[in-house]
Amino acid sequence: MSELPDWMYAPRAEGWFADDLDHLPQAPRHTELIDGALVFMMSPQRWWHGDVVTDLVYTLRRQLPEGHRVGREMTIKLDKRNRPEPDVLVVKAAFDPDRTQFAPDEVALVIEVVSSESADRDRTVKVRKYAEAAIPHYWIVEDEAGRPVVHVYELDGATSAYAPAGIFRGALERPVPFPVVIDLDALVPGNGRAAD
């Protein structure tokens, strides 16, 4: 068994801290921090996943209210030991080309497009962590026979947990976090329609 490179060893007994990610140029792209541990996305990305993420970004961008921005694969510093990287996020923040992370209070919506290696984190760990950080809206996009299905959650302020707000197939129409309409079938090529 080969030894791990030096940069992969945590710099302290408590593990990694969120700000350490900015000083790890050797880390693979899409490295997240969950409970002080580095999480690498090592499997190749499926075309389906990439298309859905890209098309969601473009679709949301056309519907954003003033003062909001949409991006992909940017980290959120939830706390000292957690800095996940959602597939898509909508933020209330000015554009800064050198920015590497957002604070939870800047985030209006987080979207995770489930892949086989992230399924458990997306459906359990991140649901809890995003809710604890008070991110108001969380969507999980699943692949159902090649078509995207969106599970929508809203933060319940009384319990600080997410409450299911619907499962959407074919089309998604929501009044929050801003009025949004998405033709879900158009997100994936080969489903009879092309995304705008």
**How many Å apart are CA 22 and CA 20, to the nearest integer?**
5
- Containing 174, the helix (H) or strand (E) segment is strand 171-174
Contact 55, 70 (CB under 8 A): no
**φ, ψ at 55 (rounded to 5°):** -70, -35
Q: What is the pLDDT along the chain (196 residues), one digit of tens a residue?
A: 568 777 787 888 888 899 888 888 877 777 888 888 888 765 667 889 999 999 999 999 999 999 999 999 999 999 999 999 999 999 999 889 999 999 999 999 999 999 888 888 889 999 999 999 999 999 999 999 999 999 999 999 999 999 999 999 999 999 999 999 999 999 986 654 444 4
Query: Domain 44-187 maps to which CATH number in 3.40.50.300, 1.10.3720.10, 3.90.950.20, 3.90.1570.10?
Result: 3.90.1570.10
Closest CA to 113 of 92, 79, 85: 85
DSSP string across 111-159: EEE--TTTHHIIIIIHHHHHHHTT-SEEEEEEEETTEEEEEEEEEETTT
Token representation of residue 110? 């987080």
How many other C-beta atoms are found inside a 10 Å radius of the C-beta of residue 180? Answer: 18
**How many Å apart are CA 55 and CA 70, to the nearest integer?**
12
pTM of the model as a whole: 0.85
**φ, ψ at 47 (rounded to 5°):** -55, -45
- Containing 166, the helix (H) or strand (E) segment is strand 161-169
Looking at residue 185, the DSSP 8-state letter turns out to be G
pLDDT in tens, 175-189: 999 999 999 999 986
Instruction: Give residue limits of the domains in the chain.
Output: 44-187
